[in-house]
Amino acid sequence: IAGMAATYHPDAVVVTPQGTMPVARALAGWGQAMEAMKRNGSRASVAFRFSLRQDGAETAFESGMFNYAVTDSAGATTRYIIPFEALLVRKDGRWLIVMERQFAQGQFEVTTTIAPALPSIMADVVAVERAVENLLANAIKYSGDARRVEVTVSPGHGEVMVRVRDYGIGIARRE
């Protein structure tokens, strides 16, 4: 928790679908949850993926998603994928988050199906990774109450096709 706290401005605010709170309260809650998991033999990890950064000399905006995974004592893993946005300020040469907005909180069912024996392809790994992350972040961000996303990777005529399907509001045909 101390490492996480170091990334926030002392007066930072966390915004979730349930409301707003000072970061100190959010960090205390996250710390209590981590301690409870340790006592139960579980472990957790978090991975951040940033899809956009706009910055100037003193302020910045970032968006992306984080993948919070909890593995219980039996080895079963539950993943929470949460898109977020953050506003940052530069203070004493360090970037600090002053506001973090989490678009969705709670568990999404993310089903991944990867076909066996996919062909080798030539691709920019970073660009493909970013494209898939953006598709996944948008699927989650606009899913509303439909908390299910499917990712399918399959071969197709010397190509590899990646499909991300959600069950959210969709886009009107005229758009």
Give the pLDDT confidence of 85-141 residue by residue, as tens digits: 999 999 999 999 999 998 765 556 677 777 888 888 888 888 887 888 788 777 777
pLDDT of res. 9: 96
Residue with tokens 């399959």: 154
* pLDDT for residue 60 is more than 90: yes
User: Considering only CA atoms, which of 61, 87, 105, 103 is closest in space to residue 9?
Assistant: 87
Q: How far apart are the first and last CA of the chain?
A: 44
Tell me what pLDDT residue 104 has.
66
Residue 28, pLDDT above cutoff 90: yes
Q: Indicate the pTM of the whole model.
A: 0.63
- Identify any residues that bridge with 80 across adjacent strands, giving them in sequence order: 68
Q: Token digits for 130?
A: 């970013």
Question: What token pair was written down for 27?
Answer: 């960090």
